[in-house]
Amino acid sequence: MHPVIIVFLALLLIFGIIYPGRFFSAINFKAILRQFVTLTLFALGPTFVVVTGRLDLSYIGVWMLGGVLVWLFKPILGMLSIIMIPITGIATGLFIGVVQTKAKIPSFILTLSLLVTYTGLTALLAGGYPRAVDGYEFITTSLIPLIPTAFLLSIPIITAAVFLMKCTRICVYLNAIGSNEEGARLAGINVDKYKILAFLLSGVFTGIGAIILFQHLGGSAQVQLKLDSIVWPLVAIVLGGTPLTGGSGGPQRTLLGAITFTIFYRGLYLSSLHPTMVTLLVGIVLIVSIIVSARGLKGVTVT
Amino acid sequence: MNNKLLEVKDVFKTFDRVVHALKGVSIEARENEIVGVVGENGAGKSTLMKILVGVYSPDKGEMYHKGRRVPFPRNPKDASRRGISIVYQENGVIPWLKVYQFLFLGYEDKYIKFMTLQMDRMKEQACEILEELHVACNVEAFMHELPLSTQKMIEIARAILGVRLESEDSETTPIIILDEPTSPLTDDERKELFKDLLKMKRNASFIFISHIIPEIMEFTDRVHVLRDGNLVAQYDLSREKMTEEDLFRAIVGRKSSEYISRSEDREALGEEVALSAKNLSKSGHFYDISFDLHKGTCIGFFGPAGSGKSQIIRTIAGLMSYDAGDLKAGDQELKADELPHVRLKRGIGYFSGETGKELFLNWSIAKNISIINMEKILGKVIPVIHFSAEKKMAENIVQKLEIKSPSVGTDCYSLSGGNKQKVSVGKWLERNPDILLLDDPTIGIDVGAREDIYEVLLEMKKNGISMILVSDEPKEYFILCDRIMFVMDGRVQKVLGPEEFRKVMST
């Protein structure tokens, strides 16, 4: 069994014992699902990139810039302006992929600078204030009690990501590039094409996910970059078992990481710990999971 | 003539109790000379050099410095105190340091006054030293701005400087070991390097390790030939008349008894041409290479390292481009800038014996085999991987090649070297390309496993796959090839049949 599953079950057990009434309550259940969806939809796309041994930090930027573009284009395009989010995602993914591959710039620094640029651009376009956009409330209208609609909507997205990564050759080629790029080239893989594809998939999944997240996180264009929203999806990816060095893992692992991290976070949330303490612990979890994944876990099969 | 400066006698070194790296080697370096040490991979050159600089300690042996018996150095610092230092093949240079900073790197404590570095004094001294050693360059330049040959010279100057600063006896001539210094350099840069090196001879003695026979012939005073941990020959090039081929033969050895006759396997050359090259050239590497590779036959490019043989095969594989000439597979032209994946589509596969390059070690056997056989396991309508087909395919190969492993799901890093190689070869067996390029197909595996690999390759050849071989193992050419092209300095010198080849190699 994957060690993270054990961690997951252990956390469930521990928090269940400490807060018997509150942890297994309907409210907490709903909160867990809500947070799980947020994390997953942000982390799903970048996972494709991390598998190749690279990093894509642009997801929050796509969500922010996409949101403000929706606000900006609403008077012109009407309801259709929501497509600005996936367009931003796809364009971003393609741009990063081509620049990273052809100009051979480290992806970390490239996507980080792009994120900063997007934040600036978002604030500029929005005039410095968050802007509420009405009319998309239907996306998250409650359908089934207790289960957030965003969660239901994310199911096909998650399925598509896992399908791509489990059942098609994309999985093999992206893993090959992360595991041994030279070997992948020798095996006759068009390495550059698949590297660009990884970033493009990241953009596509982030773009589509961000439509849901746009409404899920309040239905407004945000102008503030929060560190937590950058770091948490990364924690979900690494904790799930996709090492930052690439070569194994994938979206299915990210799901595992996202749910485990959510449980961990909700448990701390219910405790009387100060919020700064929670941030500290999140940092420690990230460090530990990076070390564990870098050193490799015996018995973790490559998906 | 010259006095003996350093001498080692009967040096033995064994690793892990079974690998006999050195079996009683003796070499000497005289004052102000360049002495060459040559040998194939695994002949023991590097081990010997590491003993000289104190990285390894020998099991047995004696060391003499100016005729006086001394103990072997305990570590590199100790070695440089005795006047011995080494310049490694690669990664010696720090590109973003200025010349004088790099020159004194690690010796700054000699230039510190009131806790500040005396930059001006360092620059001054650097100029003096470089002038003395005939290295022309601006000490304020960054290392990466200089040509590679100058960078190498500064590295050598640094080694000499290190010996001077560390040495107990200021009169001693530094002994600098150069571990394949020319391998990253182009032809012109090589010439520059040697021009400077010949001038530097006045200040130091050099032990020069190289694969490249012409430069050994031209620039060294004497040469020691190592093979399988023994000193098999030494020549005084200033007195003895030798040709490059003599030296080459001494290096690869007369292993005629090892040649297994495979002539019964050979059939007449096929009519159909699978691959043809006309005047293929890549400046600095190879020139005017022309051949026709017939279907179901094998051509070998044979020659010393640095002869351009690896570049030829890498060019055909699409890992390098060519400048001029024509390359055709059947009737399709292979353009110069095509990448390996395009070549593979045209039916050309590249098999490297280096498992680290070829295999995905953290993957299962099944995945390693299916990576180049994706089309066979994808669904016809929806391109989805059929894992049962993948497993079946791998099981088939494992059984055929007798790969010893618990299951096809076993990760490759847990396999032995020979079995890893079989997985690499197995994926190509399954792929069945028109042309298979073999780049040192059995490097680093034991004799038994080699035989198995040859069996598979011969079987594939019989089934009509054409092959091109490049190897460091002369025996391999005789076993696999129908024609052997002798390459030297990037040009084909002669074309031999396997029997002729055997005669040349065994006389």
Residues B115-129: tens digit of each pLDDT: 777 788 888 888 888
Domain presence at residue B214: yes
Query: How large a percentage of chain A has pLDDT more than 90?
Result: 44
Q: B173 with B307, same domain? A: no
Torsion angle of alpha carbons B246, B252, B253, B254, nearest 10°? Answer: -90
What CATH number has the domain bearing residue B174?
A: 3.40.50.300
Domain membership flag for residue B145? no
Mutate to test the interface with A, among B313, B319, B341 (most CBs of A within 10 A): B341
Q: Which of B225, B253, B281 is the last residue of a domain?
A: B253
Q: ipTM of this predicted complex?
A: 0.72
Q: Structure pTM?
A: 0.69
Pairwise CB contact (< 8 Å): B357 & A187: no
Give pLDDT, residue A285.
86
Mark whether B398 and B473 lie in a shared domain: yes
Q: Considering the domain boundaries, does residue B113 fall inside one? A: no
**Residue bearing tokens 């390292």:** B305
Taking the Cβ of residue B337 and every Cβ of chain A, the question of whether any pair is shorter than 8 Å is answered with no
Per-residue pLDDT at A296: 54
Alpha-carbon span B252 to B255, nearest angstrom: 8
pLDDT of B264 reads 43
Q: Give tens-digit pLDDT for A17-72.
A: 888 888 888 888 999 999 999 999 999 999 999 999 999 999 999 999 999 999 99
**Residues B208 and B297 both lie in one domain:** no
Q: Which of left, alpha, beta for A101 (phi over 0: left; psi -120 to 50: alpha)? A: alpha
pLDDT at B270: 60
Q: Which of B200, B218, B253 is the last residue of a domain?
A: B253
Q: Is B139 among the domain residues?
A: no
CA nearest to A174 within chain B: B371
B371 shares its domain with B459:
yes
Mean pLDDT confidence for B162-173? 77
User: Does B103 fall in a domain?
Assistant: no
From chain B, pick out residues whose CB is under 8 angstroms from the CB of A187: 358, 371-372
Instruction: Enumerate domains of chain A plus CATH numbers.
Output: 3-8+33-294 (1.10.3470)
Task: Note the pLDDT tens digit of each residue in B401-426.
Answer: 888 888 888 888 888 778 888 899 99
Contacts of B321 by beta carbon, 8 Å cutoff, 6+ apart? B282, B315, B336, B337
Question: Is B320 near chain A, with CB under 8 Å?
Answer: no
From chain A, pick out residues whose CB is under 8 angstroms from the CB of B341: 185, 188-191
Average pLDDT, chain A: 88
Biggest alpha carbon distance in chain A? 58
**Is residue B120 one of the residues assigned to a domain?**
no
pLDDT band at A300 (very low <50, low <70, confident <90, very high): very low
Query: CA angle A181-B359-B337, nearest 5°?
Result: 45
pLDDT at B267 over 70: no
- Residue B351 falls inside a structural domain: yes
Residue B231: pLDDT band with limits 50, 70, 90: confident
Angle (CA) A215 A216 A218, round 5°: 65
**Per-residue confidence (pLDDT) for residue B358, from 0 to 100:** 82
Residue B27 lies in a domain: yes
What kind and span of H or E run contains B328? strand B324-329
* Residue B345 at interface with chain A, using a CB cutoff of 8 Å: yes
CB atoms within 10 A of CB B169: 10
Model confidence at A294, in pLDDT bands (50, 70, 90)?
A: low
Which residue range is the domain that position B290 belongs to? 272-506
Residues of chain B numbered 355-384 and touching chain A (CB < 8 Å): 356-364, 367, 370-372, 374, 378, 383-384
CB contact under 8 A, B363 and A182: no
Residue B77 and residue B213 in one domain: yes
Average pLDDT over residues A155-180: 88
Residue B108's Cα: distance from chain center in Å? 35
Task: Tell me the three state secondary structure of residue B231.
Answer: strand
Please indicate, yes or no, whether residues B246 and B318 belong to a single structural domain of this protein. no
Structure tokens at A129: 């204030």
* DSSP classification of residue B490: T
Task: State how far the Cα of A72 lies from the Cα of B113, in Å rounded to an integer.
Answer: 64
Region A110-135: mean pLDDT is 92
The residue out of B206, B225, B253 marking a domain boundary is B253
Given a cut of 70, whether residue A290 has pLDDT beyond it is yes
Residue A261 and residue A283: Cα distance in Å, rounded? 12
A117 pLDDT above the threshold of 90: yes
pLDDT band at B91 (very low <50, low <70, confident <90, very high): low
Average pLDDT of B375-404? 88
Look at chain B and report how many structural domains it folds into: 2
Q: How confident is the model at residue B256 (pLDDT cuts 50, 70, 90)?
A: very low
- Provide the b/e sequence for A37-72 (b: ≥16 CB within 10 Å): bbbbbbbbbbbbbbbbbbbbbbbbbbbbbbbbbbbb
Residues B498-505: contacts with CB within 8 Å, 24+ apart? B498/B262, B498/B263, B498/B266, B499/B263, B501/B302, B501/B477, B502/B256, B502/B259, B502/B478, B505/B249, B505/B252, B505/B254, B505/B255, B505/B256, B505/B474, B505/B478
Q: What is the pLDDT of residues A75-91, one digit of tens each?
A: 999 889 999 999 999 99
pLDDT exceeds cutoff 60 at A173: yes
Q: CA separation (Å) from A286 to A289, B103, B435?
A: 5, 42, 48
Q: How far A181 CA sits from the closest chain B CA (Å)?
A: 9
